[in-house]
Amino acid sequence: MLFGTSGIRGNADEFFTNQFCFDIGRTFAIFLEKHKFKGSVAVGMDPRPSSERIKKYFLLGLQKENRRTLDEGITPVPAINYILIADDSLAGSAMITGSHIRGDFNGIKFFAFKKEILKEHEREIEEIYEKIKEKISFKEKPLDSIREEMASNLYRKMLLKLADLPFPKWKIVLDLSNGCQANIMSALFISLGIKTIIINNSLDPNKFIARDTETEGALNELQETVKKEKADLGIALDADGDRVVFVDEKGNFIPGDYSGALISKYGDTPVIVTPINTSQVVNYLGKPVIRTKVGSPYVVKAMEENNATFGFEANGGGFSKEIMMSRDAGSAAIKILNLLKKERKTLEELVNTLPQFFLYRTKVECPINLNPLILEKAKEKFGGMKIEEMDGLKIWLSKSTWILFRPSSNAPEFRVFAEAKTKEEARRIGEEGIKFVRSII
């Protein structure tokens, strides 16, 4: 299998060889032809050091199959999806990005049908790749691509239109992870008329931050800046621009479970779609909850099947049906700002309208071949009132306390999640779980 939780990922040098990138470019072109999509293919990238090389050979593969290509340069993942919605002449799009994983890894995400491709499409791509791989050797030659910024420009205009202006006289700290949203969000917040303090706004390939937005410690700089500047709130985006998390006016980290829950509660979605690893807070919002496996394609499919207009992941990835069916940090951020204005509350006050649970998340590097053994042993060791095996092993220890053992599908990592009514209890359970995982390793 080429695909993990979301897209193809692997070591930038060992996995994403020039030949592989060329072959997977050809593969995507053949996939689009199979589905009778005519037109150009737009390709963007994140700023990590390997992205430019991977993009080059991916584009060469597309061009080998006679696809006209648009090189969108460094641009956010959601912009690469939105360009398909805004421009009907395009056949599909792709993004070279490793998301939050470490800098020596990278990845590719694919978009067609005006949305992120689903799992059944991933299987089609894998089958095509197996048939054509290494049949034609790549040749070094100049790219025949049009370099432009259409994706970024269309995306920024959409976000500006979404904002319920004018906003109050807020002071906001914006942390852009030295990533794909740097130029876009800087310009957008000027247009929004918000007094903005921006940190980590470089596009230097050696400075991008591979930030795991589910980890509180990843936002220490933002939390300290919010307190120092006496700002109204802080907003942090990940390196490829499809996840957003928040810090309230007191410097408290607000995980994606709670920002997603707020949009779900106050929005018009009749049902809430979210993966199995998000907080149980959604169970108390008065709307039916549909749980999925972890991964954006699963959320998209469940939203379509259950007529949901909004879905979200614990990492701060929000899906808005009226905009695009893939994760988008920008629209989720604007929706929170619109909600703060409408409800006339601070972020802390708004979060306090929700039941309070505490999630502890941790992970450890782990050889992939050990994953089945860890899950088997965890099931033997940890007893509970209910066990769910949709994705990993989720054990309910009580009505409000659970632990989830889940191997990563994107990297050689094993994750442990724990939730309880107190931060201390969640940490204790989570640490007990990760200690057990380490003992197996």
- Output the DSSP codes for 312-362: E-TTS-EEETTTBBS--HHHHHHHHHHHHHHHT--HHHHHTTS---EEEEE
Tokens of 288: 């039916």
pLDDT at 146: 84
pLDDT of 411 higher than 80:
no
pLDDT at 123: 97
pLDDT at 144: 84
CA distance 195 to 183: 16
Alpha helices for 246-318 (secondary structure H): 256-266, 296-305
Mean pLDDT of 31-38: 97
pLDDT of 115 higher than 90:
yes
Mean pLDDT of 137-143: 88
Mean pLDDT of 24-53: 97
Reading phi first (left if > 0) and then psi (alpha if -120 to 50, else beta), residue 7 is in left
Mean pLDDT of 122-139: 96
Tokens of 318: 């929000």
pLDDT of 408 higher than 90:
no
When pLDDT is cut at 50, 70 and 90, the band that residue 218 belongs to is confident
Whether the CB-CB separation of 248 and 254 falls below 8 Å is answered with yes
Look at the chain and count its residues: 441
pLDDT of 410 higher than 80:
no
Closest to 407 in 3D by CA, of 441, 381, 384: 441
**Which burial class, exposed, middle or buried, applies to 163 when counting CB atoms under 10 A from its CB (0-12, 13-18, 19+)?**
buried
Q: Are strands 195-199 and 115-116 parallel, antiparallel or unpaired?
A: unpaired
386 contacts: CB under 8 Å, gap ≥ 6: 395, 396
Mean pLDDT of 249-264: 96
pLDDT at 90: 98
pLDDT at 6: 82
pLDDT at 1: 84
Tokens of 171: 């002071």
pTM: 0.93
- pLDDT tens digit sequence for 325-372: 999 999 999 999 999 999 999 999 999 999 999 999 999 999 999 999
Q: Name 418's bridge partners.
A: 360, 403
Whether the CB-CB separation of 59 and 111 falls below 8 Å is answered with no
The mean of the pLDDT values for the chain is 95
Tokens of 272: 């809430």
Cα 248 to Cα 171, 211, 223, 235, 243: the distances in Å are: 12, 19, 8, 9, 17
Q: Above pLDDT 90, what percent of the chain?
A: 90
Q: Which domains does the chain have, with CATH numbers?
A: 8-148 (3.40.120.10), 158-351 (3.40.120.10), 358-440 (3.30.310.50)
| Coil vs helix vs strand at 120 | helix
CA distance 183 to 93: 21
pLDDT of 407 higher than 80:
yes
Number of CB atoms found within 10 A of residue 147's CB: 9
| DSSP per-residue codes, 64-100 | HTT--EEEEEE--HHHHHHHHHH-TTEEEEEEE--TT
